[in-house]
Amino acid sequence: MKNEILKPKKVFDFKGLKCPLPVLKTKRALKEIEKGEIIEILADDPAANLDLKHFCEVSGNKLIKISKKGNKIHCLIQRK
């Protein structure tokens, strides 16, 4: 059941985009899902790691997971 909760409704690939586009597109992507649903974000902009964390803090959306492997960032965000 835990895996069902963390399953993203949609996946968005923002690799190749530079700041502030990953955050702006994440904000728009969250409008495409219902409250409580999760999106998965893929990015490779070095600033995206901190920018997505900060975006979740100020927007009230829940940052479920963020990880960085090499230059690739993987993020799960739940809409408030």
Question: Any idea which residues carry the catalytic annotation?
Answer: 19
Q: Which structure tokens are listed for 22?
A: 């990953």
Which is nearest to 64 in space by CA: 2, 16, 14, 18?
Answer: 2
Measure the CA–CA gap between 7 and 24, rounded to whole angstroms: 22
Q: How many CB atoms lie within 10 A of CB 21?
A: 14
